[in-house]
Chains A and B, each alone.
Chain A
């Protein structure tokens, strides 16, 4: 073996010498050699030139920044600020696992520095909480109150954070409509992220998968968008389930079922892509694929020129797929195939088709090449905002194990990005959010709650310990992060935006409103989705989304009947009646309290959210039906879905966590304070519009700065005004 390798090396060396000899340059002509020479020479010269340019320009750039007064880090108390977000990490579970010795790294972090509950937002939902985190503002200023909002015109649900519309200008060419200009992608979140403020002071940031950052905004640094990045169909994730089973009634939330026919050992079908907007009769673009059964438990999948062998319950790697719109225009996406069953019926699951980071159809990063850089550096990765397909587990298409595979894969991809960012950013801000904690707790909480209606007690298997494994895995991640941040100049914070709890019973708030005379259904209106069954001429309030209740206000809603001057009174009335709502079948209080949003929020957008925010008790949440505006005939419902844990309850019941490698003086830190803290640590003045206040973080020697700061001032100061406004909207 060794001899053959040596011989091979000698032959290769000899061949190389042959190729290098000028006398035999003739041999180097032709495509084969041309490939080698062309590609390597281009890369070599590009590298050489770019390096040269960068090195020569570096002093000029430094001088430019210096002269413009942006001498970064001059007033900084920290060299690098690292925030590791573990979405939904529950402090009581962290306490428990640390006490049991299962999270040694977080224990070490708590012992060396700080471990506190972290005040979350009202409502404690990820889009709201992370928007508050990144802007340092209460929802009344950033305008995000829920995943969804409603159209004032049609009452239909719409995404709260982003609006995507195709270009309206088109050139007609026969049956083709050639779009002129770019589609409009608008971020509906207001407020300036604190890394933009840092960037204005010359401080570089690397921001990975922080929710509500789509579309990405320009700033000094790199950013990969997360929550609310759509799939290729424009949805927040539509899986496809191909089966030869006879069609049955019903449909899936977040997915589509396609009936396929088996012809011998071959099944042919199409992947469903985005709407073809360049053809008048376009419909959805399709990408054909073929599955050949080659064994009892093995198939071969052929799609877009790629071939993959696939065993039972196995995923393919990310597969690039191409949808052809015509006129040479292509849309590229990526997806994974999972073979569920071959006999007696064929069943195949395909993940939502996501934006290809290599050639993104929509901007998902800043700069736009950053997502390409990541895909080249580490391979393809999930780009969908909610990459883990919770809907398919809810629908029973995936089982625990195949769902968990997605979560682990996504976390592994994220880890690679995160550690690359830690390696690259030695001075500046580094933020990365891991969603696996949230998605796994949502779907596996039933296994740690013995009273949960979704756990019939029969489910054995290793996924019963999924949450404990998740926490220990995250602890391991924290350990490796600590190793990468062990220099004195780095502040490391491990945070969660909210905690977690059981979701055993759903409350159909539309039924409650109906029972109390605030909502009237049309005849035959019960059971219709998206509020289609509501008689608007008699309805004063309705529920849509996870956060709470909207009033049907005249002049605001298209068919409003509540006079604007009566709305305030009605809000108070609803809050009073809802607070303390009891579930008679369990005897528990279902709603702890309800909040009048016009009173708890401050800012120009405080009236854009639901009028009432409902603070549920542990174990309760808005029912699935109420969230999509589908009134039922029952106020309380057992939640028997796999989605068994939640956090959309009273914020006092689900604080997040804050671990830090330095001591923090404040006893009640809040999520809203972290942006201001980062600014303060870098010596940048906290903008007046921020509601958060800087936490008092110890220096690397463990001492706190006098009066909170080295210079005796209140941090780096506030740009205008003498105090940092305390956000009334933050819990």
Chain B
């Protein structure tokens, strides 16, 4: 049997919780995975040693991992990863990395996997309007959607090997431009509250922002809102031609649920819809639907959530 290898997802210099989900996904393919942690400081990798089910942790130490360069990361990881099937998270950056590592090894890549059954993998296609199941014949690189597989429990203890590696950086960062807002980006957040044209005016997004700040959410928007109001930037857009998100909780406010919007958020674990139109298509996808204007519902939501957080 060939190895399964998990590439740890790193966020803000630490191992992101989705790495434990990748270990579960790797176990579904068979065996106990090796977890490779791309890092500049090997101590980052220690946290992976407690993920139950990991057979071994490799701290892949290199200056290359200081910031993302597709060519540099792929070559540095390829240099130390054994042959076998490699799993990454399905964030935009990790999907990019998955594609490059696969190409480097002349094997195929399967992106956005949401189910694993033996050698069969299922991913959404046509923006989630259908599912596609493929069968693997040999090693591959697989990116796995977050919030789909259960996280492997902690409490394990496996060895951490520190391996120095190096890669060929192809691009050079001139400058980093921090986001004007301290709030999370929709692509990074586990809770998202989004507004549509039903918000009436971009000024009313402050009510969404207040709730976002209460529960640590990102603020998103529908395409209609982005196209209508210049004050709502494209970076907030969820859906086709915007960002595809997969949070634990998605709260849609004043969003009717156009097919392009559903494409970007329908796989969210829980969906709350607030809309004054009881016939809005978004309600067919909502776990909790509230037929009300945002003016009625948001103050109540804000007050209740603030009380729960206090």
Q: Do A and B come from one complex?
A: no
A residues in contact (CB < 8 Å) with B: none
